[in-house]
Structure 1
Amino acid sequence: MKLRPKPHVLQLGVLASCAVAAAGALASSHREAPSITAMPKVDATDFYMFRSYEPGRQDYLTLIANYQPDQGPYGGPNYYTLDPDALYEFHLDTDGDAIENISFRFRFDNQLRDIQLPISGKQVSIPLVQAGGISAPNQATSNVRETYTIDMVRGERRRGRVDAVSMVGGGTVFDKPTDYIGNKTFGPNGYAAYANQHIYAVNIPGCGTPGRVFVGQRKDSFSIALGKVFDLINLNPLGALDANPDELAGRNVTTLALEVPIACVTGGSPIIGGWTSASLRQARLIASPPKRGHGTATLNGGPWAQVSRLGMPLVNEVVIGLKDKDRFNSAKPKDDGQFADYVTNPTLPALIQTLFPSAVAPTNFPRTDLVAAFLTGVAGVNQPANVKPSEMLRLNTSIAPTPKAGQSNLGVLGGDNAGFPNGRRPGDDVVDAELRVAMGALCVATGAADALQVGCKPSDAPAGAAALTDGTLQSPAQFPDAFPYLNLPLPGAQ
């Protein structure tokens, strides 16, 4: 008979494992589970949640989710539309019970204009997504128009009250910009102006102040020495911060960015938890022959099934066992106890010690320091009252945002409490921060008296003061300080 831990041990274990996942993450969440590799359109790569630091927007919360990884800028002729048969969602837990209280639900639609040319007396459909230059939404030269709607759900995501998010000025259908095909299609300096026309002021149901939304292609916002990391950490973890090339530097992603007034998404506590998910219908059949149109090769039905989930960076990437990665993607935070076996005895610090014997793994079990940092929040920083341990980003919205120029890329570890793991901003170097916390940085920081109340002391973490790095710098200076905060995508052709 298999012995099972007591409930309180189970919860601590789950959190520790998930925390180790986050704390030891060594790559962005691209292709992190077997099944999701076959569904790139619904593969979440990064999730950000932070108090807006654009000047004058400090009273807003920004949520950003990146989907569809590894986009080559030259990815024609179809480029990277999102799945019209999927749900893309942001979820917010406003009371610490690991169940969403508010969700924002995005649905997409791809409309084929079917531009035709007269060829020797016959009208023949063109093979491209554009028939000329593009400079505005829904232009006549765009052969494919991609649009979306947004619903706000209060309560449980499938049973709560549903209200439409609308544009200021009217309308509930938003245009998504065509991907950055190249400079001939958009002009040598025209894509920025074109994409900015797709930043919409929106009415959030129940809010007296408008928010903003943008959905479109951006440059991949994660930096990592990806090949070296997965080759058994084939790099110097104590080397220079910029010793290795960013192997995602030549890739784009699709970004969903939403800015909402903080007052509309907080309850009795200023601390909220957040994550993103994508869901598909349980039944998907190949249509033979497919209907005429754009992306109409499948028939879908049945209940929604969650296939992607991302809160804290990289939990599924390096902590959850290979056999359970798909299960983790389908799970909700309230059910994270089922992954306890991966948490009570985390493997990543032991692996680091095996590869680098001088980096001795922490000896405190269960890893309550990681639980505090990543899965319950740190007491006095971002831990809700009566929190249920679960895997998600947590943000204390009462902590003022740090202007871009003053941000530390190590967030809280760098003395900047407005950064990771108190939420996550684009410039937060979560790889370096999580490597250090995985090896016991909080045990060292808390001192012998455990001033941070994380359940460990410096002697538990011999390598806890080491300045571990993957050698690929992530910095606030790499990003703009204006919504949607991520950089323009790379063009398919100059």
Structure 2
Amino acid sequence: MSPTDAGRRLLLSSACLAIAAACGSALASSHREAPSITTTPKVDATDFYLFKSYEAGRDGYVTMIANYLPLQDPYGGPNYFALDPNALYEIHIDNNGDAKEDITFQFRFKNNFKGITLPIGGKNVAIPLVQAGQVAGANAVANSAVLNVNEQFSVSIVRGDRRAGTSAAITNATGGSATFDKPVDNIGVKTIPDYAGYAARHVYNVAIPGCAQPGKVFVGQRKDPFAVNLGTIFDLVNAPVSVITDPSLINAAPNTIDNKNVTTLALEVHQSCLTAGSETVIGGWTTASLRQGSLLDPSPRKGHQTAARSGGAWTQVSRLGMPLVNEVVIGLPDKDRFNASKPVNDGANFADYVTNPTLPRLLEIALGLPEGGLAPKNAGRNDLVTTFLTGIAGVNKPANVVASEMLRLNTAIPAVAFAQQNRLGIVGNLLAKGSDNAGFPNGRRPKDDVVDIALVAVAGGLCVANGDNNALGFGAECRPSAVPLGNAVFGLHDAVDQAVVPLLPGFPYLNTPLPGSR
């Protein structure tokens, strides 16, 4: 090997390591992604999914999944992980490309304390736990007599502006109630021996005002579906370069968050209720809001769940559409600002972070690489603008689009059965010359390995796929010669395979949460 070849190989290895580090700060998806949200984990969105339902018999349906409250330890008793009754959780849909919500699904929560007591020394004394016995049997439900807390929720659909639009309650298709029970978290196998069956009884068929087709809703704890080599990545990518650049080792490392749960808000709605006119592309994102003011009560009343009294206008504190944006794209001073922002303002507020990403150059400096040894050379990074802000022409770009960050899904592209889904989404489909265009960044499915896809995209993989003929419409500058790594970019990975995470074959798709004891 000549000295020149040896130098090139060393540069390639260093560049690959740098790229992995570039996405390292994002590789927890949106778990604790901004300074302020770390103080209010109950309203911290971890992941958002938007995809054509691939469950058998559900053609034409779209599934939306918003996960909240990150990094839940299954043994986190005695109070576990109820959501915030003082918060407003929302899933927004833009169906005309103007970066404004046209449909919003709003979730509100209420914790009912039953005050179960035991006779002790002639007095009835309140128990300190959320359960007073085993929740078992074929008809075990969330409002079981032995459960001391019954968490309930309501869902409304708002058409138009999320605050000024027309609101109507979504109701249970059986009985018409507008209140739903949320199953208690998976305390352990002694308390709830058949948690999978118990949780399944809280998947509701629902009537959605203005929709001819019924939908489904489920809210409850799930196993975190995200996979990432988190500890190693945060420790300055403490892994051999030979591993993260060898495609045969995509599952060589353990999934760091394989032992964590999250709380899921899942909806399945027929696409005809989400689209408008002839436009088949919808955009989606999730937010959480708190009241503008909160006053601590020095003398809370018995049986009340908080010492704070909240009031004032709803104030958005969490936002999530595309995975990894607030982590790897938005600069530290603007992370809290991004969480409080609306997509329609993205062009004015955050465009420079997409067109001029800083992390590749910072890592070139940190690792002693020459300028241009890592970052793709296409000025303006139109490949990232297309991926994150407009959608890809011919795939998921609306006819009239305002550049803004959100997941975009073309509902006209059919779902692909789980076994045939390409783990690298559209990037993998391009490489395989296949027929799976139903994956990230055309929406996001639980199987899509967004970490590896992001590694490839940040390093310029879409420019390699674009070719010299501008096949994907990313611009003449976005071509293979602009990518320092060339075809080697497609071999990048974090050594954890998203595709092997256990999932359910149908709604709500995310797997049974891990129990507090086995």
Which residue number in structure 1 is paired with residue 264 of structure 2?
255
State the Cα distance separating 1:137 from its structure 2 match.
2.5
Q: Is the 8 A contact 1:164 1:172 kept in 2?
A: yes
Q: Secondary structure at the match of 1:478?
A: coil
Which residue number in structure 2 is paired with residue 266 of structure 1?
275
Which residue number in structure 2 is paired with residue 329 of structure 1?
339
How do 1:345-494 and structure 2 match up within 5 A? 345-351=356-362, 353=364, 355=367, 357=369, 360-415=374-429, 416-455=436-475, 456-465=478-487, 466=489, 467-475=491-499, 478-494=502-518
Which residue number in structure 2 is paired with residue 344 of structure 1?
355
Mapped to 2, the partners of 1:409 and 1:173 lie a distance apart of 37
Which residue number in structure 2 is paired with residue 171 of structure 1?
177
Mapped to 2, the partners of 1:102 and 1:92 lie a distance apart of 5
State the Cα distance separating 1:357 from its structure 2 match.
4.7
| 1:88-137 superposed Cα distances (whole Å, 9 cap, x missing partner) | 00000000010000000000000100000111110100000000111323
The structure, 1 or 2, with the larger RCO (C-alpha pairs under 8 Å, 6+ apart) is 1
State the Cα distance separating 1:361 from its structure 2 match.
1.5
How do 1:96-115 and structure 2 match up within 5 A? 96-115=97-116
Which residue number in structure 2 is paired with residue 306 of structure 1?
316
Mapped to 2, the partners of 1:394 and 1:368 lie a distance apart of 17
Bigger CA drift: 483-492 or 235-244? 235-244
Q: Is the 8 A contact 2:389 2:405 kept in 1?
A: yes
Among 143, 167, 171, the residue aligned to 1:162: 167
Mapped to 2, the partners of 1:325 and 1:371 lie a distance apart of 19
State the Cα distance separating 1:296 from its structure 2 match.
2.2
State the Cα distance separating 1:344 from its structure 2 match.
3.1
State the Cα distance separating 1:242 from its structure 2 match.
1.3
Residue correspondences, number: 472
Q: Secondary structure at the match of 2:191?
A: helix
Among 229, 242, 249, the residue aligned to 1:225: 229
| 1:31-69 superposed Cα distances (whole Å, 9 cap, x missing partner) | 111110000000000000000000010210000011000
Structure 1 residues 103 and 356: CA distance shift in structure 2, 3 A: farther
State the Cα distance separating 1:356 from its structure 2 match.
8.9
Q: Is the 8 A contact 1:405 1:477 kept in 2?
A: no
What's the RMSD between the two structures over aligned residues? 1.7
Percent of aligned pairs with the same residue?
58
Q: Is the 8 A contact 1:437 1:464 kept in 2?
A: no
Q: Is the 8 A contact 2:221 2:262 kept in 1?
A: yes
| 1:334-358 superposed Cα distances (whole Å, 9 cap, x missing partner) | 1112123423320233345454959
Mapped to 2, the partners of 1:138 and 1:92 lie a distance apart of 32
Q: Is the 8 A contact 1:110 1:294 kept in 2?
A: no
Question: Residue 506 of structure 2 aligns to which amino acid in structure 1?
Answer: A
State the Cα distance separating 1:245 from its structure 2 match.
1.6
Bigger CA drift: 70-79 or 291-300? 291-300
Mapped to 2, the partners of 1:445 and 1:484 lie a distance apart of 34
The alignment's TM-score, normalised by the length of structure 2, stands at 0.88
The alignment's TM-score, normalised by the length of structure 1, stands at 0.93
Mapped to 2, the partners of 1:131 and 1:162 lie a distance apart of 39
State the Cα distance separating 1:243 from its structure 2 match.
2.2
User: What runs of 5+ residues in structure 1 fail to find an aligned partner?
Assistant: 1-20
Which residue number in structure 2 is paired with residue 285 of structure 1?
295
| 1:307-366 superposed Cα distances (whole Å, 9 cap, x missing partner) | 000000021112212221111100000111212342332023334545495962101110
Structure 1 residues 356 and 426: CA distance shift in structure 2, 3 A: farther
Q: Secondary structure at the match of 1:183?
A: coil
User: What runs of 5+ residues in structure 2 fail to find an aligned partner?
Assistant: 1-21, 430-435
Question: Residue 493 of structure 1 aligns to which amino acid in structure 2?
Answer: S
Structure 1 residues 315 and 198: CA distance shift in structure 2, 3 A: same
Mapped to 2, the partners of 1:408 and 1:474 lie a distance apart of 11
Q: Is the 8 A contact 2:48 2:322 kept in 1?
A: yes
Structure 1 residues 198 and 296: CA distance shift in structure 2, 3 A: same
Question: Residue 487 of structure 1 aligns to which amino acid in structure 2?
Answer: N
Bigger CA drift: 320-329 or 94-103? 320-329
Mapped to 2, the partners of 1:272 and 1:40 lie a distance apart of 28
| 1:182-229 superposed Cα distances (whole Å, 9 cap, x missing partner) | 011011xx1011000100000011111110000000011111111222
Mapped to 2, the partners of 1:295 and 1:393 lie a distance apart of 35
State the Cα distance separating 1:386 from its structure 2 match.
1.8
Mapped to 1, the partners of 2:368 and 2:445 lie a distance apart of 30
Mapped to 1, the partners of 2:237 and 2:500 lie a distance apart of 25
Q: Secondary structure at the match of 1:79?
A: coil
Q: Is the 8 A contact 1:219 1:252 kept in 2?
A: yes
Q: Secondary structure at the match of 2:447?
A: coil
Q: Is the 8 A contact 2:25 2:327 kept in 1?
A: no
Question: Residue 265 of structure 2 aligns to which amino acid in structure 1?
Answer: L
Mapped to 2, the partners of 1:310 and 1:186 lie a distance apart of 33
Larger Rg: 2
Which residue number in structure 2 is paired with residue 17 of structure 1?
none
Q: Is the 8 A contact 1:436 1:464 kept in 2?
A: no
| 1:376-423 superposed Cα distances (whole Å, 9 cap, x missing partner) | 000000000121110000000000000011001101011120000000
Mapped to 2, the partners of 1:231 and 1:363 lie a distance apart of 28
Q: Is the 8 A contact 1:23 1:433 kept in 2?
A: no
Q: Secondary structure at the match of 1:488?
A: coil
Mapped to 2, the partners of 1:23 and 1:457 lie a distance apart of 26
State the Cα distance separating 1:167 from its structure 2 match.
0.4
